[in-house]
A and B are shown apart, each in its own frame.
Chain A
């Protein structure tokens, strides 16, 4: 079946270091990918997105890389801060706005 998965369920980094969160997807037809951040007790918060005609997109302190050859997506967070601690989900749009989410990676930032 179609699935989106993450390689690592947890990631612990030192404050100020860069973080990399990875995601694998299986639907070659997906044309739109999104990273969301979810803090405890809150809904997912949009971070950054990328369309399938791109391989890199940068935001403020975040970069998303898309490798369609191996169906891999990553989120890079520069100079990670304690406020970045949360669960991060990748999601793929498999059509009509229907998003398939991965299981999530919990990012823990040590001061």
Chain B
């Protein structure tokens, strides 16, 4: 399977705990995006990387959230001191060998986070 993969698929945690999600993009895709999706809503942009550089962060990304893409391949999204409001599906997408902003974004299956 050469699509975008995410791990884990499901995560249940207690409020206050830290969680980390991983995204493996399509091979050789330069851009990697993180989105958050709550029930009944469309995905909301969180942040994106061009290779290893994080180029933009949404206001939705509070100080408790941090994302990395150290080698320009896989990326991690960490949430510290989780809150119940963080419960959502976290989606990763990748695009483009050309690095154009209009390259098609292909999404992974998502990580569903439940904070108790």
- A residues apposed to B, CB below 8 Å: 4, 31-32, 34, 36, 41-46, 49, 51, 89, 91, 93, 95-104
Minimum C-beta distance from A28 to chain B (A): 17
Minimal Cβ-Cβ distance residue in A for B55: A96
Q: A43-B107, A101-B44 are in contact. Are A51 and B101 (CB under 8 A)?
A: no
**Is the beta-carbon distance between A96 and B104 smaller than 8 angstroms?**
no
How many residues on B have C-beta within 8 angstroms of the other chain's C-beta atoms? 26
- Interface segment, B12-20, B35-43, B68-76, B78-86? B35-43
Minimum C-beta distance from B13 to chain A (A): 19
Contacts of A31 in B (CB 8 A): 102
- B residues apposed to A, CB below 8 Å: 4, 31, 33, 35, 40-45, 48, 55-56, 91, 93, 95, 101-110
Q: A43-B91, A44-B107, A96-B56 are in contact. Are A103 and B42 (CB under 8 A)?
A: yes
**Is the beta-carbon distance between A46 and B104 smaller than 8 angstroms?**
yes
Minimum C-beta distance from A60 to chain B (A): 16
Minimum C-beta distance from B63 to chain A (A): 21
Contacts of A89 in B (CB 8 A): 42-43
**Is the beta-carbon distance between B42 and A104 smaller than 8 angstroms?**
yes
Minimal Cβ-Cβ distance residue in A for B106: A46
CA distance A95 to B35 in the complex (A): 16
Known A31-B102, A97-B101; 20 more pairs at CB < 8 Å: A4-B42, A36-B107, A42-B110, A43-B93, A43-B108, A44-B107, A89-B43, A95-B101, A96-B55, A96-B56, A96-B101, A97-B48, A98-B56, A98-B101, A99-B35, A99-B45, A100-B45, A103-B40, A103-B41, A104-B41
